[in-house]
């Protein structure tokens, strides 16, 4: 599988590779490059855009726990605390604690900014 993306962020790269992608290329790449990547992947090789690979190597690890990521992702979809609590099978207070911890760990002013920061880093 080759991923052709307009959102070439290091976090997306990691998730794509974990999902089984063998190639990862930005949409802005020349058409010849795409054909070359498809041929390489078909031959069994891997290909990752070099600039994206360099960015991924310098990306700080995500400071959020899996639960914090899950709650901040749902909050990013506009879900209120009660809905997030039902979907995650957590108490509302626990959800608020996870959201608060996410905001604090990301140095955000509020959960909306925390969602933006996490998305821009490619963690969501």
* Percent of the chain topping pLDDT 70: 96
Q: Regarding the domain delimited by 66-121, which CATH topology (the fold level of the hierarchy) does it fall under?
A: Arc Repressor Mutant, subunit A (1.10.10)
Across the chain, what does the average pLDDT equal? 88
Domain ranges of the chain: 2-58, 66-121
Q: pTM value?
A: 0.64
Examine the pLDDT at 101 and tell me if it is beyond 80.
Answer: yes
- Between 84 and 26, residue with greater pLDDT: 84
* Percent of the chain topping pLDDT 90: 51
Query: How do residues 27-78 score in pLDDT, each as one tens digit?
Result: 877 778 888 999 999 999 999 888 778 777 777 788 999 999 999 999 999 9
Three state DSSP letters for the chain: CEEEECCCCHHHHHHHHHCCCCEEEECCCCHHHHHHHHHHHHCCCCEECHHHHHHHHHCCCCCCCHHHHHHHHHHHCCCCHHHHHHHHCCCHHHHHHHHHHHHHHHCCCCHHHHHHHHHHHCCC
């Amino acid at each position: 599988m080759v991923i052709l993306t307009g959102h070439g962020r290091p976090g997306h790269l990691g998730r794509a590779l974990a999902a089984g992608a063998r190639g990862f290329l930005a949409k802005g790449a020349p058409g010849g490059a795409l054909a070359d990547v498809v041929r390489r992947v078909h031959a069994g090789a891997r290909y990752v855009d070099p600039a994206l690979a360099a960015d991924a190597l310098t990306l700080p690890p995500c400071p959020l726990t899996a639960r914090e990521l899950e709650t901040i992702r749902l909050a990013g979809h506009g879900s209120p605390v009660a809905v997030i609590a039902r979907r995650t099978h957590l108490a509302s207070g626990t959800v608020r604690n996870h959201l608060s911890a996410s905001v604090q760990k990301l140095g955000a002013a509020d959960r909306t900014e925390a969602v933006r920061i996490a998305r821009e880093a490619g963690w969501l």
